[in-house]
């Protein structure tokens, strides 16, 4: 976990949530089964799991949204 002030990128993972939960279940040996968020993946934790946050450590961030966070992990990546 990092402080919210250090987060540079926010992604809405809601469209991919079902696949994300399925992937977690498929890799059960790599996830603490008693973890609160995993245990609640079908219920209350869905709102939490539907958000992905990242921190840019090198380069320049992409265009910010209304909250000042970029929404494209690949903005500014050149071939």
- pLDDT tens per residue across span 18-27: 888 788 778 8
- pLDDT, residue 70, reads 92
Question: Rounded to two decimals, what is the model's pTM?
Answer: 0.67
- pLDDT tens per residue across span 26-52: 887 777 666 665 665 555 566 677 888
67 touches 11 (CB < 8 A):
no
Residue 35, number of CB atoms within 10 A of its CB: 12
Averaged pLDDT, 58-74: 87
pLDDT at 60 over 80: yes
Q: Measure the CA–CA gap between 34 and 8, rounded to whole angstroms.
A: 30
The number of CA neighbours under 13 Å toward the Cβ of 69 is: 17
């Amino acid at each position: 976990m990092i402080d919210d002030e250090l987060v540079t990128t926010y992604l809405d993972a809601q469209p991919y949530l079902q696949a994300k939960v399925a992937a977690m279940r498929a890799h059960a040996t790599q996830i603490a089964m008693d973890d609160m968020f995993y245990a609640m993946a079908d219920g209350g934790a869905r709102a939490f799991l539907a958000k992905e946050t990242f921190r840019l450590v090198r380069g320049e961030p992409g265009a910010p949204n209304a909250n000042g966070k970029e929404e494209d992990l690949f903005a500014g990546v050149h071939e």
